[in-house]
């Protein structure tokens, strides 16, 4: 056995398919969150918490439901291809892992000292990596809990996993809160470092393609 390394030239930090999926996901997420707020108001989970009319997609619950159950297709289909892309091209492994504990502590310490270094767009710090992993898991969780709420009899096994119908609603609500929390940080940081926003539109700097290690029998 011998390991052969093949040089493969350069590519954009964010290849075109990834950029398309990112922006489709942005639309899907905004549709799902704001229409979800419209549905939530008819049977609140946290007493006293209502979402203002101006924040909701759909003029009343029926319309918000139409949006939510249409937006779910965009979210699911686009999300499926995003996961497939990340796994097949090795992007997840390359960009998001490993996440070192020491690295994590250092980044948090730097941030607290207001040292937010972002000179190199091509490297994610540990906190960034962690946030991306968490939001991807939250997205998957939203689809699973969403299915449980949409079809609690057909997927009754899924419902019991969340401790019943109201449990599934609660986890679905908390998943939304995690994603909204991520969005606030994500959008704020991209506005603080506008080059990152531009990179997600135009592709960003060229980087060497990841070296492929292929094992060949000799």
Q: Interface with other proteins by CB under 8 A: which residues?
A: 27, 30-31, 34, 39-40, 42-43, 53-63, 65-67, 69-70, 73, 150-154, 156, 165-166, 169
Residues 6+ apart with CB under 8 A from 42: 61
Shortest approach of other proteins to residue 177 CB, angstroms?
16
Task: Encode burial over 93-121: b for 16+ CB neighbours within 10 A, e otherwise.
Answer: eebbeebeeeeeeebeeeeeeeeeeeeeb
Between 29 and 126, CB nearer to other proteins: 29
Between 167 and 203, CB nearer to other proteins: 167
Shortest approach of other proteins to residue 63 CB, angstroms?
6
Q: Are 3 and 111 in contact (CB under 8 A)?
A: no
Residue 1, SS3 per DSSP: coil
Shortest approach of other proteins to residue 176 CB, angstroms?
14
Between 6 and 43, CB nearer to other proteins: 43
Between 65 and 130, CB nearer to other proteins: 65
Shortest approach of other proteins to residue 88 CB, angstroms?
27
Between 69 and 137, CB nearer to other proteins: 69
61 burial via Cβ count (<10 Å: 0-12, 13-18, 19+): middle
Shortest approach of other proteins to residue 51 CB, angstroms?
11
Q: State the Cα–Cα distance between residues 194 and 63, nearest whole angstrom.
A: 35
Which residues lie across from 182 on neighbouring strands?
Answer: none
């Amino acid at each position: 056995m011998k390991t052969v390394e093949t040089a493969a030239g350069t590519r954009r930090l964010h290849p075109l398919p990834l950029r398309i999926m990112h922006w489709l996901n942005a639309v899907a997420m905004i549709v799902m969150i704001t229409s979800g707020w419209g549905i939530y108001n008819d049977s609140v989970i946290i007493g006293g918490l209502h979402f203002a009319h101006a924040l909701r997609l759909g003029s009343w619950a029926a319309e918000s439901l139409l949006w939510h159950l249409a937006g779910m297709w965009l979210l699911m289909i686009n999300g499926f291809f995003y996961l497939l892309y990340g796994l097949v091209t090795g992007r997840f492994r390359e960009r998001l892992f490993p996440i070192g504990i020491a690295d994590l502590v250092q980044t948090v310490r730097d941030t607290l000292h207001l040292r937010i270094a972002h000179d190199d767009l091509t490297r994610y710090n540990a906190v960034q990596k962690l946030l991306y992993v968490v939001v991807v898991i939250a997205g998957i969780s939203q689809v699973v809990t969403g299915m449980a709420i949409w079809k609690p009899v057909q997927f009754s096994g899924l419902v019991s996993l969340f401790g019943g119908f109201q449990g599934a609603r609660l986890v679905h609500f908390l998943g939304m809160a995690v994603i909204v929390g991520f969005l606030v940080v994500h959008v704020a940081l991209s506005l603080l470092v506008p080059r990152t926003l531009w990179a997600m539109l135009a592709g960003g700097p060229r980087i060497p393609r990841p070296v492929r290690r292929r094992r060949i029998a000799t």
